[in-house]
Amino acid sequence: MARSVLQRDINESGKVPFTVSIPAVAMWEYHEPCQHLIRETAKWCESLTQSSSDACLFSDIMQMLPSNALEGCEGYSQKLESTHNIGLCPYASCAHHGRLCDIRKRADFDCSGLPCPDMSTAGKKLKRAGVTSQVYIAHGRYTTEMQTPLLLIECTPELDMGMVEDTHPDHDFYQLFSEPTDVGFRGLARSRTWVIGAHRQRTTCLYDPFQIQSTLSAAFRANVQAQVSDFLVASPSEIQMEASRVSLQRGIPFLSHEPNLAYLLGKGELSTKQGLDSKYMNLYQQHPMSNNNLVYFLGDSAAYCSWSASSQKIPTYRLNSKSGKYWLPAQQRWMTSKERLCSMGFPCVKEVAESMVCRCSAQLTLPGLQTCVGTRCTLRLVASCS
């Protein structure tokens, strides 16, 4: 998406004597429901750049390796050894074209969100000993074989960089770290790392990426600071509709005239809410209802203190946040799906949609969209410059 905006802005600026065209040539997404989002994103990129890409959409990155490549391998080192210089499978099933397509794309730029469950503190921190190390091996094998000039790998800050270097031997890496506040979303916590991989023979670093990131973050911090209350964009009818859906799911009679939705919370959620209310009053000597930026995550117990009280940020969306409620004491309700998407930059309201040059995503009950809330889609996108 950033690449499309860049392409449009450069072409509209008239500052270069040629037309920039960076079409996507292939995308990988393991989870079928998330493929819907990938298609939507590709369409948005095409409308923004006024171009078409016809990119392939593949599913499992492991299909790049021969099916018996990891047979009998125990542990990371053996897997790495057995796939060293192994040939790629040339074809894979493509959901876009409905047939087997050639995966060997000569792309200039590869942008990948590689699996984080084995890295993060929320997981077991198995790192290279975890099962997802084979995805890094496949990715490294592909980008090494194709001599992809530029990589961008997104993951949690706990990413096993030693494994990334092992699996991508021909690239030099620059590891950047970011928080949403670096791009104006001060009200959300989500630490990420962005690793730039530059092929040793095919690229030259012209500008210090750390310096560029620092300059951009300073500009955003100075000009945009969206806080939790800025994300509360649901209308009264949208809030009631979501309450009605939850009442049906939980078998609790729906009370259309009751603005306080605490009656729809489960026993554990109520206990967490009450525990955090007490903690907040003890710590800050004020009632939680007086803080418009206060959010509790009710998917954890009160002992974990998953709240925005100290950081002023919505706790990081995790796998269990798909069903867990983010409670807003001042509003006496939870954040709706639309508001959570808004906090992540989705075009859920007209103003945001217009700034992104797209239609407002008013229909937020699409299965793919719901499934992806609170999780990180494993998106891999390969683009080529021409």
Site residues, Zn ion (CB under 5 A): 56, 94, 97, 101
- CA 249/CA 295 separation, integer angstroms: 23
Judged by beta carbon, residue 27 or residue 137, the one nearer Zn ion is 27
- Select from 63, 133, 141 the least CA-distant residue to 103: 63
Other C-beta atoms within 10 Å of 248: how many? 10
Cβ burial 117-130 (10 Å sphere, 16+ → b, else e):
bbbbeebeeebbeb
Geometric angle at alpha carbon 122, from 324 and 227, rounded to 5°? 60
Residue 25 CB, nearest approach to Zn ion (Å): 10
Q: What is the DSSP letter of 212?
A: H
DSSP symbols for 187-201: TB---EEEEEEEETT
Residue 209 CB, nearest approach to Zn ion (Å): 32
Residue 24 CB, nearest approach to Zn ion (Å): 12
Judged by beta carbon, residue 100 or residue 212, the one nearer Zn ion is 100
Alpha helices (H) along 50-206: 75-82, 133-145, 161-167
- CA 194/CA 196 separation, integer angstroms: 6
Judged by beta carbon, residue 97 or residue 250, the one nearer Zn ion is 97
Residue 228 CB, nearest approach to Zn ion (Å): 42
- CA 159/CA 164 separation, integer angstroms: 8
Judged by beta carbon, residue 57 or residue 119, the one nearer Zn ion is 57
Judged by beta carbon, residue 97 or residue 359, the one nearer Zn ion is 97
Residue 58 CB, nearest approach to Zn ion (Å): 8
Judged by beta carbon, residue 28 or residue 307, the one nearer Zn ion is 28
Residue 95 CB, nearest approach to Zn ion (Å): 8
